[in-house]
């Protein structure tokens, strides 16, 4: 019940005015200075450090490049928490969405239609600070009618997908017929003690999926079905529709049948941040339920709101998010997630930027991970961000 009010509120906003997987926003989606630096206080596992940082974003022809150059004090505490002085935040290339790659923190990564890998986030675990193990590589290429995707993360999650346009036109409104298959493996699982308290633990796990889709209305309306299996555990199947209206209103709706010991979207945005034990957290009986998701984009991305809700008999879970470009003197995002093992575990995160109109702004990051309804770990940082591109007579 504790998530219903927030989710229903966001659904009301979105339906009256994007949705694919779980909804999640980052501050960089709404505020993108070319060159920024700052001084902040960072709290990691109860230790408070001073951080002085410089974060340039560069564009070298078709290549996008982002760096973090940080100084932490005291330095011995930074070493204890594996905080990095220099890190490659991201590097990427895209050619017409047919060929490309990205290395960095991967977010919103869905392979297939979400029954196996849904909105996967390589950097959800640990503190709010970026380190290399939060990064991953996603490469893709399209050859004739076939697309290939490959994923590898710093936490050693590997995934591959092949999709093929079997028929370019079918009798169903001349729609193409696209088939795909996905495989995901994590051979060492998750064992994260970086935040103190209870360790975040998951056993190693493999999974595979197959799907068929009919994009009857192109981006407007696509019918699909997907089957997924978690090796040595259960399987499930979904039937659904998704689409986008003018790129501003997105929706997704599914009916799902879950077998015993199967978890939908097992590799998701909270995979690295929450523990999971099939013996206690997976369904112990067959379940039938539904998924509904929607999100809306106002004023060319100045304001976004979205939510995803799932219901399987006595199990409720979902995500909700708000994000805005400058309103008054603030830019911000708020995210909240209850994963499948839900009812106890949840993740809340807020990032707020206060704009002064000068060459510096104030920024606050807060992240809280609940292990139960009453126990949680928290990390936060507060500080001053310098917009160095406002001081330079040229653009980087």
* Separation CA 25–CA 334 (nearest Å): 8
* Angstrom distance (rounded) from CA 66 to CA 33: 12
Per-residue confidence of the chain (396 residues) as pLDDT tens digits? 444 444 434 333 333 333 334 678 888 788 766 566 677 777 776 678 888 877 777 777 788 888 888 888 887 777 776 777 777 788 999 888 899 999 998 988 999 999 999 989 998 887 767 777 889 999 999 999 999 999 999 999 999 999 999 988 888 888 999 999 999 999 999 988 766 667 889 999 999 999 999 999 888 999 999 999 999 999 999 999 999 998 789 999 999 999 999 999 999 988 998 889 999 889 999 999 999 999 998 877 789 999 999 999 888 888 899 999 988 899 999 998 887 755 567 888 899 999 888 878 888 888 887 777 777 777 777 887 776 655 554 444
Rounded Cα distance between 237 and 24, Å, is 25
What number of helices (H) and strands (E) belong to the chain?
Answer: 3, 25
- Pairing relationship of beta strands 136-143 and 177-186 according to DSSP bridges: unpaired
What six digits make up the tokens of 250? 């997105």
Nearest residue to 52 (alpha-carbon basis) of 37, 34, 65, 66:
37
pLDDT of 387: 66
Structure tokens at 97: 């969405």
Nearest Cα residue to 239 out of 252, 229, 249, 220: 252
Three-state DSSP at 390 gives helix
Q: Cα(182)–Cα(39) distance, rounded to whole angstroms? A: 43
DSSP percent split of the chain into helix, strand, coil, nearest 5: 10, 55, 35
> Which residues are bridge partners to 73 per DSSP?
50
DSSP 264: T
Under 8 Å between Cβ of 160 and 93: no
Locate all alpha helices (DSSP H) within the chain, ordered by sequence.
4-16, 75-80, 278-281
What's the topology of domain 4-390?
Porin (2.40.160)
The three-state secondary structure class of 339 is coil
The pLDDT score that the predictor gives to residue 16 is 31
Instruction: Tell me the pairing of strands 157-167 and 177-186.
Output: antiparallel
What sign results for the dihedral spanned by CA atoms 94, 99, 100, 106? positive
Cβ atoms of 238 and 226 within 8 Å: the answer is: yes
- Where is 362: in which H helix or E strand? strand 360-370
The predicted pLDDT at position 196 comes to 62
Domain-by-domain residue ranges, the chain?
4-390
């Amino acid at each position: 019940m504790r998530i219903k009010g927030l989710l229903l509120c966001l659904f009301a906003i979105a339906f009256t005015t994007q949705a694919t997987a779980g909804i999640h926003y980052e501050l960089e989606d709404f505020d993108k200075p070319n060159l920024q630096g700052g001084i902040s206080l960072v709290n990691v596992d109860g230790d408070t450090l001073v951080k002085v940082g410089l974060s340039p974003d560069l564009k070298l022809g078709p290549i996008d490049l982002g760096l973090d150059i940080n100084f932490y004090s005291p330095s011995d505490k930074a070493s204890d928490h594996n905080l990095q002085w220099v890190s490659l935040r991201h590097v990427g290339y895209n050619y017409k969405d047919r060929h490309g790659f990205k290395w960095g923190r991967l977010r919103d990564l869905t392979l297939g239609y979400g029954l196996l890998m849904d909105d996967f986030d390589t950097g959800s675990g640990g503190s709010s600070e970026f380190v290399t193990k939060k990064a991953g590589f996603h490469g893709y290429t399209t050859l004739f009618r076939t697309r290939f995707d490959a994923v590898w993360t710093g936490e050693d999650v590997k995934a591959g997908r092949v999709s093929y346009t079997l028929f370019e036109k079918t009798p169903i409104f001349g729609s193409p017929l696209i088939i795909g298959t996905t495989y995901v493996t994590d051979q060492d699982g998750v064992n994260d003690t970086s935040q103190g308290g209870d360790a975040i633990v998951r056993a190693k796990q493999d999974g595979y999926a197959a799907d068929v889709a009919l994009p009857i209305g192109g981006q407007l309306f696509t019918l699909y079905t997907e089957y997924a299996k978690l090796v040595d555990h259960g399987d499930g199947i979904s039937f659904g529709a998704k689409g986008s209206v003018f790129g501003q209103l997105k929706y997704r709706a599914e009916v799902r049948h879950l077998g015993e010991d199967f978890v939908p979207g097992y590799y998701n945005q909270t995979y690295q941040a929450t523990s999971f034990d099939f013996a206690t957290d997976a369904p112990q009986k067959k379940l039938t339920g539904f998924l509904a998701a929607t999100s809306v984009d106002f004023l060319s991305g100045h304001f976004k709101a979205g939510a995803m809700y799932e219901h399987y008999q006595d199990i409720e879970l979902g995500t909700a998010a708000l994000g805005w470009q400058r309103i008054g003197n603030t830019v911000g995002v708020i995210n909240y997630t209850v994963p499948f093992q839900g009812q106890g575990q949840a993740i809340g995160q807020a990032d707020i930027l206060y704009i002064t109109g000068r060459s510096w702004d104030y920024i606050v990051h807060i992240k809280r991970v609940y292990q139960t309804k009453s126990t949680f770990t928290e990390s936060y940082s507060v500080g001053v961000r310098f917009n160095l591109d406002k001081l330079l007579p040229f653009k980087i």
